[in-house]
């Protein structure tokens, strides 16, 4: 029940592909010919379909979403006294780069979330108009409550005021439909190890054609080694150093598996509802955003700190959950849980039986206070 951190289990094909990859001859570092299979390009093609973009080469692949977000936030041409608009729902993967930007004279303004962790498009629009930011950053869905934000509307509001728009899809890609070109999104970061069902060490950044970022990380590219700067063309412009080839073989297997085995969204929603109803019914304080929502649920059990409850759920019942601030410290006051929450996050593989086991375990805790 900790899939919002890293999904588990993975399709069998993922591990098999990774094991095969470490035994085979490594890739050709951007120099391969027609007969070479470039796993990174194959992944880009699969991701382009999922993201709704027509230029796979605009997807730079790195080690995770944090990498992509750092490339975007530090690569975008911000100047002293420029404003960046973000939200209270952001993860530290966005917040900590923003805190660093503040040290260089960039002003950062945060849009508060509602009590369910959602950013209201009207409030976002008002704040964009008021602060006239150069760059707007939005978490597509809260990793704490699962509330999915209206990225299309908020991107339009940002563009209407001349701001660029960066979307953090860490939680959503693979679970929520995304149409980046249709929404006109400028940049979007993603990770492979959550709802894409791939391994850790995969993730990256989509950059809309026409946008030129100053690479945050620079280094070897295998090609154009006689240049002092990174090559201009994407994706190699942002891809310094040797990529994580075995893990990208795993991600490719996961993407292909997911395409052939679509998740049963209705069943997932029904299980989440059963979980939320059950927890509410026994007196837990549950954050319940309206749909659209990720299969993520935050709650607290009266009489226990989140950490105490989490320790018991894990130690006594083998229920792996996450407790605390979930790397989203600004959101806690908005949802009225300053000491953090217990977070349960399902995957497509979570069964009804597992939901019932969670409810039985929490019943024991509630009745033991």
Partner 1 sequence: MKFRCKKTENCFAGARTYEYELPVTGQELAGRLAGWEVKENHRFRRPVFSARKDGVEIKGILAAQVVKVNYTEENWEREKKGLERWLEETEV
Distance (Å, rounded) from C-alpha 307 to C-alpha 325? 10
Residue among 36, 35, 26 nearest 243 (CA): 26
**Contact indicator for 276, 145 with CB cutoff of 8 Å:** no
Among 21, 178, 301, 325, binds partner 1 (CB under 8 A): 325
When asked if residue 315 is in the footprint of partner 1 (CB under 8 A), the reply is: yes
Element (DSSP H or E) covering residue 87: strand 83-87
- In whole angstroms, the minimum distance from the beta carbon of 339 to partner 1 comes to 9
When asked if residue 222 is in the footprint of partner 1 (CB under 8 A), the reply is: no
Distance (Å, rounded) from C-alpha 136 to C-alpha 196? 25
Q: How many CB atoms lie within 10 A of CB 175?
A: 26
Distance (Å, rounded) from C-alpha 345 to C-alpha 4? 6
Q: Which is nearer to partner 1, 242 or 339 (CB)?
A: 339
**Contact indicator for 299, 326 with CB cutoff of 8 Å:** no
- Selected range binding partner 1 among 11-19, 53-61, 103-111, 322-330, rule: CB under 8 A: 322-330
When asked if residue 361 is in the footprint of partner 1 (CB under 8 A), the reply is: yes
- Selected range binding partner 1 among 116-124, 188-196, 248-256, 312-320, rule: CB under 8 A: 312-320
- In whole angstroms, the minimum distance from the beta carbon of 66 to partner 1 comes to 17
- Give the count of residues interacting with partner 1 (CB under 8 A): 18
- In whole angstroms, the minimum distance from the beta carbon of 279 to partner 1 comes to 17
When asked if residue 320 is in the footprint of partner 1 (CB under 8 A), the reply is: no
When asked if residue 257 is in the footprint of partner 1 (CB under 8 A), the reply is: no
Q: Which is nearer to partner 1, 292 or 329 (CB)?
A: 329
Q: Which is nearer to partner 1, 93 or 205 (CB)?
A: 93
- In whole angstroms, the minimum distance from the beta carbon of 298 to partner 1 comes to 13
DSSP E strand stretches across 127-201: 135-139, 164-168, 187-191
- In whole angstroms, the minimum distance from the beta carbon of 310 to partner 1 comes to 9
- In whole angstroms, the minimum distance from the beta carbon of 306 to partner 1 comes to 9
When asked if residue 324 is in the footprint of partner 1 (CB under 8 A), the reply is: yes
Q: Which is nearer to partner 1, 91 or 125 (CB)?
A: 91
Q: Which is nearer to partner 1, 72 or 325 (CB)?
A: 325
When asked if residue 316 is in the footprint of partner 1 (CB under 8 A), the reply is: yes
Element (DSSP H or E) covering residue 99: helix 92-103
Element (DSSP H or E) covering residue 342: strand 341-345
Distance (Å, rounded) from C-alpha 44 to C-alpha 234? 12
Residues with Cβ within 8 Å of residue 308, at least 6 apart in sequence: none
Give the contact letters, 56-95, x = binds to partner 1 (CB under 8 A), - = no. ----------------------------------------
Classified as helix, coil or strand, 293 is strand
Phi, psi of 238 (to 5 degrees): -110, 5
**Contact indicator for 68, 303 with CB cutoff of 8 Å:** no
Binders of partner 1 in range 334-353 (CB under 8 A): 340
Residue among 172, 353, 174, 363 nearest 254 (CA): 174
Contacting residues toward partner 1, per CB under 8 A: 307, 311-312, 315-317, 323-327, 329, 340, 361, 364-365, 367-368
């Amino acid at each position: 029940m900790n899939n919002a951190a890293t999904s588990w289990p993975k399709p069998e094909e993922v591990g098999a592909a990774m094991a095969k990859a470490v035994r085979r001859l490594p890739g050709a570092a951007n120099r391969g010919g027609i007969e070479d299979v470039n796993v990174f390009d194959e992944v880009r093609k699969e991701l382009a379909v999922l993201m709704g973009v027509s230029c796979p080469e605009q997807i730079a692949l790195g080690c995770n979403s944090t990498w992509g977000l750092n490339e975007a936030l530090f690569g975008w041409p911000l100047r002293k006294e420029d404003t960046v608009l973000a939200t209270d729902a952001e993860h530290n993967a966005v917040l900590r780069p923003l805190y660093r930007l503040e040290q260089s004279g960039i002003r950062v303004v945060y849009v508060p979330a509602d009590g369910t962790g959602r950013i209201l498009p009207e409030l976002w629009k008002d704040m964009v108009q008021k602060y006239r930011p150069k760059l707007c950053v939005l978490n597509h869905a809260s990793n704490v409550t699962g509330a999915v934000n209206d990225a299309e509307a908020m991107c339009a509001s940002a563009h209407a005021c001349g701001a660029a728009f960066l979307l953090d899809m860490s939680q959503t890609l693979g679970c929520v439909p995304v149409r980046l070109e249709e929404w006109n999104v400028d940049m979007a970061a993603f990770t492979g190890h959550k709802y894409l069902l791939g391994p850790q060490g995969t993730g990256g950044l989509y950059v809309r054609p026409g946008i030129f970022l100053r690479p945050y990380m620079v280094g070897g590219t295998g090609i154009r080694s006689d240049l002092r700067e990174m090559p201009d063309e994407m994706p190699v412009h942002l891809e310094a150093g040797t990529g994580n080839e075995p893990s990208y073989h795993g991600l490719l297997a996961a993407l292909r598996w997911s395409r052939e085995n679509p998740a049963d969204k209705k069943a997932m929603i029904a299980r989440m509802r059963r979980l939320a109803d059950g927890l509410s019914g026994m007196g837990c304080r549950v954050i319940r955003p309206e749909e659209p929502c990720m299969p993520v649920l935050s709650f607290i059990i009266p009489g226990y700190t989140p950490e105490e409850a989490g320790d018991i759920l894990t130690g006594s019942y083998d229920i792996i959950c996450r407790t605390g601030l979930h790397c989203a410290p600004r959101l806690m006051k908005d949802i009225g849980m300053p000491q953090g929450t217990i977070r349960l996050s399902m995957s497509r593989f979570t069964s009804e039986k597992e939901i019932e086991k969670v409810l039985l375990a929490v019943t024991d805790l509630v009745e033991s206070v």
